[in-house]
Amino acid sequence: NKSFVNAAGEKVSAVKDLSFTMYQDECFCLLGHNGAGKTTTMMMLTGCLPQSGGQIKVKGCKVPEQLRAIRTSMGFCPQHNVLFNELSVLEHLELFGMLGGMSPEDIQQRGAELVAAVALTD
């Protein structure tokens, strides 16, 4: 559950009584009309927004208590561009590798492999 207080001071439910299960190796898509709570749901699943009530578990791990473990196995593709003009391709890969819990050594190795694979080397 997620509730907000609007400008008039009224409590508004953005997500209420939602329950679903995702399975391993499944590509999951959350669809709905504008204002249905899709983005709010994904923000709660990824720990970017605290839920107002209820319990969220990903692979048996609780949000927000076990976010590090959750983020190593979950990807999220938001509707808006999440790239930064100030960062190079390699720096973006390093940033998202770090956020995903990869070790610095693995980030460096995998980043170099990916940049070379798409011919973006200097």
Domain containing residue 24? 2-71
Indicate the length of the chain as a whole number: 122
First to last CA, the chain: 48
What long-range pairs does 85-90 form, CB within 8 A, spacing at least 24?
Answer: 89/115, 89/120, 90/115
Q: Do 56 and 114 share a structural domain?
A: no
40-85 pLDDT per residue, tens: 998 898 888 899 999 999 888 999 999 888 888 777 777 777 788 8
Peptide bond into 64 cis (omega under 30): yes
Q: Do 90 and 35 share a structural domain?
A: no
Q: Is residue 76 part of a domain?
A: no
pTM exceeding 0.85: no
In percent, how much of the chain has pLDDT > 90? 39
Q: How many domains does the chain have?
A: 2
- Per the CB < 8 A criterion, the answer to whether 52 and 2 are in contact is yes
Rounded-to-integer distance, Cα 116 and Cα 111, Å? 9
